[in-house]
Structure 1
Amino acid sequence: MYQSYIWDFDGTLYDSYPIMLKAFMKTLKEYGFDPDPAEIYYILKDSSSKKVAEKYNLDFQEFTKAFKANEALDDRLPLSFDGTKETLEAVVAAGGKNYILTHRDVISTK
């Protein structure tokens, strides 16, 4: 068994994409765009939020600030996928360590 596991937060440990997608759609509409939600979802899963900003020729820093503000308006918390807790606990029980790789800040990850 491996001793160290690196997990991606969004879309791997937690189903955060519905909340993120809603905020991305709202932000893009505020910029005057009417994007296809399936296309935005694909870009986020395949690449990054930076690619979304690039697709619409938006300043990434400004877009991120607006997106994060819209995301903060959603009071839902992302839910972990079935089996996440048990998997992470099994790694620790076997003497391993879990690490998270994420673009999120510490507060939103906790």
Structure 2
Amino acid sequence: MSESNRVPRAPRSLSEYPVVLFDFDGTVADTQPAIFRVAMQIMRDHGYDPDPSKMLTMIGPPLEEGFSLVCGMDKAEARECADAYRDLFSRTVTPDEFPLMPGMRELLDALVASGRRLAVATSRMEESAQEMIASLGLTQFEAIIGRIHGVRYSKAESIEGALQALRVSARDAIMVGDRMHDVIGAREWEMPCIGLYSGAAYPGELEEAGAVATCHSVEELGYLLGL
């Protein structure tokens, strides 16, 4: 186990939670290269020369916020870019551009075999997440909940939707995510969150946000979940 794994006091052992909610981008699948490719194309189409060192801010928050953070766009332009991004992403990104994190399929199978119930709570648009997860051949998730215009926007709202879909209480669930947004969203429901350092989060980001444990691989994540 990595020295970064920190498990402070929690209501119960991390391996005892019957429900595990997963973020999608950067947690279940490695979508970062595809996101960067499409986002940078949209930025250039709108006259921006994006700073590569700022591109990590595109991973985690809703797209509109990401465009604003990277390029300083106002809300109207950020919404326009987000719409253009989604169109380009859906037309050009194929499943080979968002492979599963190494060991993720085996982890999901093992969690289901152990009796755990699984769902996705993502800031990605719900329809997009459902299509991408289906294309990866994943059937372990009982629900895939994401953003829906006028219905859900924040990570906390996606978490709420996942809990409602499974008809479970927040006290019986744990979140797994790769950015501070996942940790903060879980905290709104007083839910513990395991942070997975997969390449998007800055060093110390997940601990500072309040993750009850952190890891650097799916193998370590399985260890934390009692597998």
Where does residue 56 of structure 1 map in the other structure? 73
State the shift of 1:61 in Å. Answer: 3.0
Runs of 4+ in 1 over 6 A off after TM superposition: none
Query: What is the distance in 2 between the residues matched to 1:101 and 1:73?
Result: 24
State the shift of 1:73 in Å. Answer: 1.7
Query: Alpha-carbon deviations, 1:16-64, whole Å to 9, x = none?
Result: 11101100000000000000123122x1235442223322225243211
Query: Alpha-carbon deviations, 1:54-93, whole Å to 9, x = none?
Result: 2222524321110012213233441001110111111111
Aligned residue for 2:59, secondary structure, equals helix
Where does residue 45 of structure 1 map in the other structure? 59
Where does residue 10 of structure 1 map in the other structure? 25
Q: Percent identity at matched positions? A: 22
| CA spacing shift, 1:92–1:20, aligned 2, 3 Å | same
CA RMSD of aligned residues (A): 1.8
1:74 to 93, 96, 99: 93
Give the AA of the match of 2:51: D
TM-score by length of 2: 0.44
Give the AA of the match of 1:64: A
Aligned residue for 2:25, secondary structure, equals coil
Aligned residue for 2:110, secondary structure, equals helix
Aligned residue for 2:118, secondary structure, equals strand
Aligned residue for 2:22, secondary structure, equals strand
Superposed, 1:12-31 pairs within 5 Å as: 12-31=27-46
TM-score by length of 1: 0.85
Query: What is the distance in 1 between the residues matched to 2:101 and 2:34?
Result: 15
Q: Tell me, which stretches of 5 or more residues in structure 2 are unaligned?
A: 1-15, 135-227
The answer to whether the 8 Å contact 2:25/2:59 transfers is no
* Greater relative contact order structure (CA < 8 Å, 6+ sep): 1
The answer to whether the 8 Å contact 2:29/2:98 transfers is yes
Worse overlay, 57-66 or 8-17: 57-66
The answer to whether the 8 Å contact 2:29/2:101 transfers is yes
